[in-house]
């Protein structure tokens, strides 16, 4: 599963670099709408991936709450553990999204 995600990332980076190389033959006036469209598509894709990841983290957190409520008697411990796990996973996804934003900017040369 991880190799599939890595291959998707390599494919995405390959096509973003290929797009940057292909648009350099246009003038700045011709290139600007293409770059803006590509940037908008990247923003939309990142938002959808982040939203899907957040929903996945929340679903895992809720299933963890249900599992821990069967194990522990205290509801506070259960909610604290599940929220900590969900927030750490969400923090990782946010930092990874920021890394992709910096490394795959179409205007970066």
Signed CA dihedral, 66, 64, 81, 96: sign only: negative
Put simply, whether the predicted model's pTM sits higher than 0.85 gets the answer: no
Q: What is the pLDDT of residue 35?
A: 75
Domain definitions of the chain by residue range: 2-103
State residue 40's pLDDT score. Answer: 84
Higher pLDDT, 42 or 86: 42
User: Which residue carries 């469209």 as its tokens?
Assistant: 37
**pLDDT digit string (tens) for 12-45?**
777 676 666 666 666 767 777 777 887 888 888 8
């Amino acid at each position: 599963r991880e190799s599939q995600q890595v291959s998707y990332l390599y494919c995405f980076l390959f096509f973003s670099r290929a797009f940057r190389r292909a648009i350099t033959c246009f003038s700045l006036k011709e290139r600007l709408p293409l770059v803006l469209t590509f940037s908008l598509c990247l923003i939309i894709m990142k938002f959808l991936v982040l939203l899907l990841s957040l929903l996945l983290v929340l679903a895992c957190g809720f299933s963890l709450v249900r599992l821990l409520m069967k194990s522990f008697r205290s509801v506070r411990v259960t909610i604290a553990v599940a929220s900590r796990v969900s927030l750490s996973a969400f923090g990782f996804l946010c930092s990874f999204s920021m890394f992709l934003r910096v490394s795959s900017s179409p205007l970066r040369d």
